[in-house]
């Protein structure tokens, strides 16, 4: 994505805003994938309901630890803690969750994305094929089934998505192909706070397949635009920063970062109208 990067450098930036080191947290990420190895609505619109009919277990008790926003979500009766990094959604919380999911679907569907669903439980072999079994070691939940086969709870779905498409794309007419899912991911992460870094969490992950790099660049920009519209639609203040590809591989990676009260990275961002350029202290 040289073009995109160059474009950024050419933009005239307004005054810079420096975040408080503690107020930035990742809002999501967008990853450029290469063409040979991967690195992406159903109608879940929530029906109307009377407030008095809704089971809403509000509470004045503050859940030990955690940050303000999390405590407010607990007290508002939207979520309940199930132990470090694990959360359950109440009926009210699930309605909010479904609304967010619906907006994500709308954004991806509007650029031709097609939703799929892959198993979260996976065999080790596929991860050894891709060479990533060891990469996720420590962060990946692994288990053995009763037949002694080693399996994992998928922390990511590149392997799965390739398997879903392997041998199924018959001609150039099938390409480009943009598929996505909104399902659970599992990572044995050190629970950071609230719903941001969990051991089990819902991720919207999209993957695209192309015949050439030009097509990949086009889709990358389409997805980037969809993410911008979705973030704006959700009312989030956000900045787009260059990011590391880390274990996901690929050649370009950008992260959408939203300021929060208690974050983990520092952000420098341009304050010019409509300019989303920023740099985080994770990637300089
Ligand atoms: Zn700027």
CA of 269 to the centre of ligand 1 (A): 8
Please check whether residues 254 and 281 belong to one and the same domain.
yes
Q: Are residues 69 and 154 in the same domain?
A: yes
Asked whether residue 14 falls in the same domain as residue 57, the answer is no
Q: Which domain holds residue 121?
A: 38-209
Q: What is the pLDDT of residue 177?
A: 96
Distance, CA 207 to ligand 1 centroid (Å)?
Answer: 29
Region 229-250: what's the mean pLDDT?
81
How far is it, in rounded angstroms, from Cα 269 to Cα 238?
9
**Statement to judge: residues 146 and 84 lie in one domain:** yes
Query: Which positions ≥6 away from 63 have C-beta within 8 Å?
Result: 70, 71, 74, 81
The residue ranking higher by pLDDT, 56 or 109, is 109
Q: Are residues 30 and 42 in the same domain?
A: no
Q: Is-contact 102 180, C-beta < 8 A? A: no
- How many angstroms is it from 11 CA to the middle of ligand 1? 6
Report DSSP letters for 97-146, one per residue: HHHHHHHHHHHHHTTT-EE----SEEEHHHHHHHT-TTTTTTTSEEEE-T
Q: Which two tokens stand for residue 249?
A: 């591989």
- Do 45 and 180 fall into the same domain? yes
221 inside domain: no
> Same domain, yes or no, for 170 and 263?
no
Report residues near ion ligand 1: CB below 5 Å.
Answer: 13, 270, 272, 275, 277
The alpha carbon of 10 and the centre of ligand 1 are apart by a number of angstroms equal to 9
- The number of folded domains in the chain is 2
CA of 86 to the centre of ligand 1 (A): 38
Residue 200: band (very low, low, confident or very high) from pLDDT cuts 50, 70, 90:
very high
Q: Is the pLDDT of residue 49 over 90?
A: no
pLDDT in tens, 97-153: 999 999 999 999 999 999 999 999 999 999 999 989 988 878 899 999 999 999 999
The domain that holds 108 is classified in CATH as 3.30.930.10
Whether residue 81 is found in the same domain as residue 122:
yes
Task: Please indicate, yes or no, whether residues 29 and 121 belong to a single structural domain of this protein.
Answer: no
278: left (phi over 0), alpha (psi -120 to 50) or beta: beta
């Amino acid at each position: 994505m040289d073009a995109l990067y160059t474009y950024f450098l050419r933009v005239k930036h307004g005054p810079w805003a420096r975040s408080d080191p503690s107020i930035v947290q990742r809002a999501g990420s967008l990853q450029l994938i290469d063409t040979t190895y991967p690195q992406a609505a159903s109608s879940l619109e929530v029906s109307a309901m009377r407030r008095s009919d809704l089971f809403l277990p509000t509470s004045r008790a503050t859940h030990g630890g955690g940050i303000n926003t999390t405590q407010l979500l607990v007290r508002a009766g939207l979520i309940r803690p199930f132990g470090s990094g694990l959360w359950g959604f109440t009926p009210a919380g699930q309605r909010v969750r479904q609304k967010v999911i619906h907006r994500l679907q709308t954004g991806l569907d509007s650029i031709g994305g097609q939703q799929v669903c892959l198993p979260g439980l996976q065999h080790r072999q596929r991860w050894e094929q891709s060479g990533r079994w060891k990469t996720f070691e420590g962060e990946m939940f692994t288990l053995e089934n009763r037949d002694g086969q080693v399996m994992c709870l998928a922390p990511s779905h590149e392997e799965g998505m390739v398997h879903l498409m392997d041998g199924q794309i018959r001609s150039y007419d099938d390409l480009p192909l943009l598929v996505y899912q909104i399902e659970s991911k599992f990572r044995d992460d050190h629970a950071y706070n609230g719903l941001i870094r969990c051991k089990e969490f819902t991720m919207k992950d999209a993957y695209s397949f192309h015949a050439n790099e030009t097509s990949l660049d086009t889709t990358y920009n389409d997805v980037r635009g969809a993410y911008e519209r979705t973030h704006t639609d959700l009312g989030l203040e956000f900045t787009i920063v260059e990011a590391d590809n880390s274990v996901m591989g690929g050649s370009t990676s950008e992260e959408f970062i939203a300021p929060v009260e208690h974050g983990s990275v520092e952000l420098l961002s341009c304050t010019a109208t409509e300019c989303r350029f920023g740099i985080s202290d994770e990637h300089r």
